[in-house]
Amino acid sequence: LLAEGQDFHLEQDSAWPQGSLQLGQVSGLALDSDSNLVIFHRGDHQWGADSFNSLARYQQRSLGPIQQSTILVVEPAKGNILKASGRNMFYLPHGITTDKENNYWVTDVALHQVLKVSSDGRDRILLALGEAFTPGSDSNHFCKPTDVAVDTETGNIFVSDGYCNSRILKFSADGKYLSEWGAGSSDRRRRIPFQIPHSLVFLPDRKEICVADRENGRIQCFIAETAEFVKEIKKDEFGGEVFAITYSTAGGGLIFAVNGESPFRSAPLKGFVINYSTKDILDTFSPNKKDFKMPHDIVETRDGSVFVGDAGSKAVFKFTTQKLHRSV
Ligand SMILES: O=C(N[C@@H](O)C(=O)O)c1ccccc1
């Protein structure tokens, strides 16, 4: 469905990747400092209904850490693997992002930790936040933390926490706790709490932090410095769940998002291109032949390609912008 006057559309590049990436559940995507695609996946581990007990404690420690390389650096044009690391470290990978020194900041929902890991192939843990396998909700414990975003101006990092907490925390680059906050006052009368803050993105041109507030089916944006609420984007087309977001300064500021299955409303699983200022949906996209199963993260590369990691299909899909030739 193309909006009136729409002259670009994202189409799947079904020839990508050229080879097999041997992926497990894909949980996170990031870009590294060479604008290569970084894939964070779960190898032979799966997040199932019995992975955690009622106290949010991971039940499969006896499996040991994932032995496959959970962090793959892939070149965006053809999809061949440039680097593979992250073996014997993680149990249930979730979010991944990179900082200016090209370190990986990852979350693991089984460890309930945020880890800063070197990208030199030696997997050195440069910083660990949270206590391994120990859920909690104070300033030293998370509960299934979902993502990290880095404020490229200050180096501060933001953590979305998470499946069993409803907050975003801010730390200094060296891990000092600075502050935390809950949902924005989009509704003057009540602050509706976050329900699985699931994905974060920093907007470098606006110095804002936006969150995919998954089960509330909305995106909320805040001033990174003060956590002051800026805006909310909530669309019927999301169908009740927003799983992941990313941002591009192109076109005056674009939010890219993927939605998710909702138990209450049926809406097709899709990617969305949204004008940050007007909140208009400029385009929607999905794979050509098969449907998304659980689109779980999304990134956009410098050349405008968009990648979606799908935890259900255990695959990464590439989309490229096609110019539409309007028939007069
Ligand atoms: O949300 C879930 N999973 C995804 O987000 C993910 O795999 O990160 C989930 C929740 C309950 C049970 C099993 C899976």
Task: Report yes or no: 145 and 161 within 8 Å, Cβ to Cβ.
Answer: yes
Residues of the chain above pLDDT 90, percent: 90
Cα–Cα distance for residue pair 304/321, rounded to 1 Å = 7
Compute the distance from residue 244 Cα to the ligand 1 centre, in Å: 13
Q: Is residue 191 packed enough to be buried (19+ CB in 10 Å), middle (13-18) or exposed (0-12)? A: middle
pLDDT band at 184 (very low <50, low <70, confident <90, very high): confident
Taking the CA atoms of 280, 285, 291 and 293 in sequence, report the sign of the dihedral they define.
negative
Compute the distance from residue 11 Cα to the ligand 1 centre, in Å: 28
Ligand 1 pocket check for 92: Cβ under 6 Å: no
Compute the distance from residue 188 Cα to the ligand 1 centre, in Å: 32
Task: Report yes or no: 66 and 58 within 8 Å, Cβ to Cβ.
Answer: no
Ligand 1 pocket check for 47: Cβ under 6 Å: yes
Ligand 1 pocket check for 52: Cβ under 6 Å: no
Task: Report yes or no: 147 and 107 within 8 Å, Cβ to Cβ.
Answer: yes
Query: How many CB atoms neighbour CB 297 within 10 A?
Result: 30
> Edge-to-edge strands of the sheet including 281-285?
242-248, 254-259, 271-275, 281-285
Ligand 1 pocket check for 49: Cβ under 6 Å: yes
Residues 6+ apart with CB under 8 A from 253: 203, 205, 206, 247, 275, 276, 277
Q: What is the 3-state secondary structure (H, E, C) of 235-264?
A: CHHHCCCEEEEEEECHHHCEEEEEECCCCC
> How many Cα atoms within 13 Å fall on the side-chain side of residue 258?
29
pLDDT of 327 > 70? The answer is: no
Residue 57's φ and ψ, nearest 5 degrees, are -90, 130
Task: Report yes or no: 247 and 203 within 8 Å, Cβ to Cβ.
Answer: yes
Cα–Cα distance for residue pair 250/152, rounded to 1 Å = 17
pLDDT at 265: 84
Ligand 1 pocket check for 107: Cβ under 6 Å: no
Cα–Cα distance for residue pair 23/17, rounded to 1 Å = 12
Compute the distance from residue 39 Cα to the ligand 1 centre, in Å: 18
By C-alpha distance, which of 123, 217, 110, 225 is closest to 162?
A: 110
Altogether, the residues listed in the chain come to a count of 328
pLDDT at 83: 97
Q: Which atom of ligand 1 is nearest to the CA of 52?
A: 12
Compute the distance from residue 109 Cα to the ligand 1 centre, in Å: 10
Query: pTM higher than 0.95, yes or no?
Result: yes
Strand partners, 114: 107, 129
Complex ipTM above 0.90?
yes
Q: Which atom of ligand 1 is nearest to the CA of 109?
A: 8
Task: Report yes or no: 155 and 172 within 8 Å, Cβ to Cβ.
Answer: yes
How far, rounded to the nearest angstrom, does the alpha carbon of residue 288 sit from its chain's CA centroid? Answer: 23
Residues 6+ apart with CB under 8 A from 244: 198, 199, 212, 257, 258, 295, 296, 297, 298
pLDDT of 261 > 90? The answer is: yes
Q: Which two tokens stand for residue 15?
A: 């020839």
Q: Which atom of ligand 1 is nearest to the CA of 294?
A: 4
Q: Which atom of ligand 1 is nearest to the CA of 146?
A: 8
List, for residues 75-111, the tens digit of each pLDDT value: 999 999 999 999 999 999 999 999 999 999 999 999 9
Using most ligand atoms within 8 A of CB, pick from 26, 27, 47 the residue to mutate for ligand 1.
Answer: 47
Cα–Cα distance for residue pair 151/99, rounded to 1 Å = 9
Q: Whose CA is nearest to atom 5 of ligand 1?
A: 296
List, for residues 189-245, the tens digit of each pLDDT value: 678 999 999 999 999 999 999 999 999 999 999 999 999 999 999 999 999 999 999
Compute the distance from residue 315 Cα to the ligand 1 centre, in Å: 16
Q: Whose CA is nearest to atom 3 of ligand 1?
A: 47
pLDDT at 244: 98
pLDDT at 66: 98
